[in-house]
Amino acid sequence: MNAHLQPTGSAYFIQQETAKEERHTLSVLVSNEPGVLARVIGLFSGRGYNIESLTVSETEHEAHLSRITIVTSGTAGVLEQIKSQLDRIVPVHRVVDLTVRARQLGQERPIEREVALVKVQGDGEQRAETLRLADAFHAKVVDATVSHFIFEITGKSSKIDQFVAIMKPLGLIEVCRTGIAAMNRGAQGM
């Protein structure tokens, strides 16, 4: 290689590292007022960030506060940007990265649970097998007829994914999932 073609201190020769994406669970405490959820979602969609799961509910009725739980993925820089931008939305009172908090507490992840309603055909020879498998997953029958079952199942998202996969060959009809609810272990609140 000629001396004049060798890489210099120029930024053009620096090989760009690809930052690793991580999945994080964020908890956002907001005022319970019209338009807040739309503003939070707008922040994500306007910047091209993906929301893997979103749940929201009023958690402190007297104080008119709601808790939004968002599961998203991104590089460390993107996740910091998301948290910073969420903090700047006026009715947002607090943003906590539950994934980071869990690691600070020496845990792998926060406690995460999801609820799903799963409708499955329940007739013929597979009826008993459907019930047996549902029982193995601790799924509760919330509706039953001679032709179908509706099961309620609670647990980690991976457990629900497994249950749905097992029910597919037995006649899965429909699935409705709540999204993830999450909090950290320990006595400290958000």
> Average pLDDT in the 140-165 region?
97
Higher pLDDT, 89 or 114: 114
> Average pLDDT in the 46-58 region?
92
Structure tokens at 128: 């008993």
How many Cα atoms sit within 13 Å of 1 on the Cβ side? 5
Distance of alpha carbon 52 from alpha carbon 179, whole angstroms: 9
Phi, psi of 188, deg, nearest 5: -80, 140
Using 50, 70 and 90 to split pLDDT, how confident is the model at 9? low
> Average pLDDT in the 15-24 region?
76
Structure tokens at 27: 């908890």
Number of helices (H) and strands (E) in the chain: give both, helices first: 5, 9
With a pLDDT cut of 90, the percent of the chain lying above it is 74
How many Cα atoms sit within 13 Å of 156 on the Cβ side? 6
pLDDT of residue 47: 87
> Is the pLDDT score of 10 beyond 80?
no
Distance of alpha carbon 29 from alpha carbon 106, whole angstroms: 24
